[in-house]
Amino acid sequence: MNKKMILGALLLTSVGLCAVSACTDDDTKPAKPVVAITGIGSHDGPEGTVKAGDELHLEADIVAEGLIARIDVEIHQEDGGSFEIEKPYTEGAYIGVKNATFHEHIDIPSEAPAGEYHLHLTVQDREGQTTTAEAELEIEAASE
């Protein structure tokens, strides 16, 4: 009888330990977002170029296991100029999804100085993790 009680206690203990270890909370975060710019420029011009006063066509593939929380586009002058364009996306079809094809047309003001620019496309997931993809952009003088 004593052996049966000891075996029963060991059995209950091992079952309990298995149940506890199988249910431990896993604190691993999903992978950081992955961003790949697949198109930048105007529809009728060369890749990487847009005229001031026109729309910039920007396309990217995004995968965010932690679900997209926001997307930020920043365009700034390369050669020390202070002109910049910032465009946040915090609502709409891209937010709260894992996979997205980001396709937007961003207005380039006609007063944008011609020259070399740098574009940052930053994606933040709901875990707070961010990834930034970058591209070079040339803004040509506005048509008269």
What pairing do the DSSP bridges indicate for beta strands 130-140 and 115-125? antiparallel
Tell me if 124 is assigned to some domain: yes
Tell me if 70 is assigned to some domain: yes
Question: Which CATH number does the domain housing residue 117 bear?
Answer: 2.60.40.770
pTM, entire model = 0.80
Distance CA 102, CA 87 (A): 13
Tell me if 14 is assigned to some domain: no
**Per-residue confidence of the chain (144 residues) as pLDDT tens digits?**
555 555 455 555 555 555 555 554 557 889 999 999 999 999 887 899 999 999 999 999 999 999 999 999 999 999 888 999 999 999 999 999 999 999 999 999 999 999 999 999 999 999 999 999 999 999 999 876
Residue written as token pair 């209950």: 12
Distance CA 15, CA 84 (A): 62
Tell me if 90 is assigned to some domain: yes
Query: Domains in the chain: how many in total?
Result: 1
41, HSE (Cβ side, Cα atoms, 13 Å): 11
**Domain extent for 47:** 34-140
Q: Which pLDDT value is given to residue 43?
A: 81
Do the Cβ atoms of 48 and 137 come closer than 8 Å?
A: yes
Tell me if 62 is assigned to some domain: yes
Tell me if 88 is assigned to some domain: yes
Tell me if 3 is assigned to some domain: no
Do the Cβ atoms of 57 and 46 come closer than 8 Å?
A: no
Tell me if 10 is assigned to some domain: no
